[in-house]
Amino acid sequence: MTQPQPTALKSDAEVLTSKIDEMRVDIRKLMPLLNLLEPTNPDQMTSFAERLLAFMQQIDEGYQNQAEAFHALRTEVRDINAKLNFLIEGS
């Protein structure tokens, strides 16, 4: 029976370098968002906020329309089911 061999652990320096590299990637991704938090032009932030609110309202309206459509379909299916039950039980 062979003994399991211990896996080689990374040195602290290798782990630190790896973490720093990962953080650099994350920071590069977040920089555009951070720039929005402190815009050089206040109108830019206002415009962004207006577009964001309009987008959120569109999503909310879409959910409401979808809920109304599902309710109508549910009512229609319930009516069809009642008619089918009548036909089955009436025969």
pLDDT band at residue 1 using 50, 70 and 90 as cut-offs: low
pLDDT tens readout for residues 14-70: 888 889 989 888 888 888 877 766 767 777 778 888 888 999 999 999 999 999 999
Give pLDDT, residue 91: 60
b/e code 30-67 from CB counts within 10 Å (16+ = b): eeeeeeeeeeeeeeeeeeeeeeeeeeeeeeeeeeeeee
Give pLDDT, residue 10: 82
Question: What's this model's pTM, rounded to 2 decimal places?
Answer: 0.44
Give pLDDT, residue 27: 83
